[in-house]
Structure 1
Amino acid sequence: MHSTSVLILVGVLGLAAGALLAFLATRNRQNADRTQELELSLKEANTKLEDFQQQVNEHFDQTAQLVHNLTQSYREVHEYLANSAIRLSNQDIGRQMLEAGSGELSDSHENLSVLPPRDWAPKAPGEKGTLSEEFGLEKDPIAPREEVASR
């Protein structure tokens, strides 16, 4: 009997050990599958990020090219207008336009007659200014309403 009970006990222990090993093997396999899924989703996310970064770089490259083209077109228009001004009007004005387009400032400031903006209107001495409350109002003697109604 002793040998039968030992044999049953060894069989039960073997069965439990086999079940435990099978459980651990399937668990490790599930973890490996999850790891592979996570690695695959990480690769997809990295690919999407790289694509997005490439699109952003292309966007800024194209924007820079368009701004450069716009600047060049502005320069061409400005030069055309300046050359036309030289041909059609006073040559000094045309030269000033060319100098302004090149970014250089004119050294001769005496030709410029620029006045600062005024926040007041010119007036003759003794007159009311345009900001005065009485400006433009003439005081005519008006008859009281009762007199107007009786007429």
Structure 2
Amino acid sequence: MEMGLVVIIAIVAFLVGVLGGFLVSKATAGRDSSGNLKNQMDSLQGRFSDYQTEVANHFNKTASIAQKFSQSYQEMQSHLQHSVETLVSDSELRSRLLSEIKMDELKALDYSAEGQVEQDIPEQETTAVNTYNDTPRDYAPKVPGEVGTLAEEFSAKRK
């Protein structure tokens, strides 16, 4: 009889475990994490598409504004040339002004490899730049005899 009681308790425990597992599986079936992840993915995809559209619109508008700016600049150059030709009577001054206007127009269109227009540098600055052969210093100057900041011995003084 004791053996029968142990078997009955084991069967009851097994049935209670199966029933508990069934109830837990039903309770968690509504919380599908893959559906939640899919919704998040769809949301992020939509936001990314909206962002791409905004970037494309931004660059299209920037190109349009740059084109208008270029057209206005050309109109201004044309107006200046016409004004110099009609208003300036001195031929020497007229030719000098027209050459300056054309030179400014060429400088505006001239892009060097670095994206900068060449500038007139005074002769003193040119010689100073050409004769400078010292290595660049990326640290603060130090007093002679003092350890530099890049030295291994440089650190907080210990007592």
Instruction: Return the TM-score normalized by structure 2.
Output: 0.53
Tell me the secondary structure at the aligned position of residue 26 of structure 1: coil
What is the aligned partner in structure 2 of residue 66 from structure 1?
Answer: 68
- Pairing 1:84-123 to 2, within 5 Å after superposition: 84-85=86-87, 89-103=89-103
1:48 to 47, 50, 53: 50
Query: Unpaired segments of 5 or more residues in structure 1?
Result: 105-151
* AA aligned opposite 2:35: D
Query: How far does residue 7 in structure 1 lie from its aligned partner after superposition?
Result: 4.0
**Equivalent position SS for 1:103:** helix
| Alignment RMSD | 2.3
Larger Rg over CA atoms? 1
The amino acid across from 1:21 in the alignment is: S
The Cα shift of 1:72 comes to: 0.6
Aligned residue type for 1:39? M
CA contact (8 A) 1:83 1:94 kept: yes
SS of the residue 2:30 aligns to = helix
The match for 1:79 is 81
Deviation (angstroms), 1:93: 2.5
- How many Å apart are 1:98 and its aligned residue? 0.5
Kept in 2: contact 1:85–1:91 (CA 8 A)? no
What is the deviation of 1:23? 3.6
Q: Deviations over 1:17-38 (max 9, x none)?
A: 22233344433x1x22221121
Which residue of structure 1 aligns with residue 35 of structure 2?
Answer: 33
Give CA deviations for 1:39-78 in whole Å, capped at 9, x if unaligned.
Answer: 1111111012111111211121112101110111011111
> In the alignment, which residue of structure 2 is the partner of 1:149?
none
Identity of aligned residues (%): 11
1:22 aligns with 2:19: no
Residues 85 and 93 of structure 1 are in contact (CA less than 8 Å); yes or no, is this contact kept in structure 2? no
More off after superposition, 12-21 vs 69-78: 12-21
| Cα deviation digits, residues 92-118 of structure 1 (max 9, x gap) | 2321220121127xxxxxxxxxxxxxx
- Residue 5 of structure 1, CA deviation: 4.7
Q: Which consecutive residues of structure 2, in runs of 5 or more, have no partner in the other structure?
A: 105-159
Kept in 2: contact 1:79–1:101 (CA 8 A): yes
What is the one-letter code of the residue matched to 1:41? Answer: S
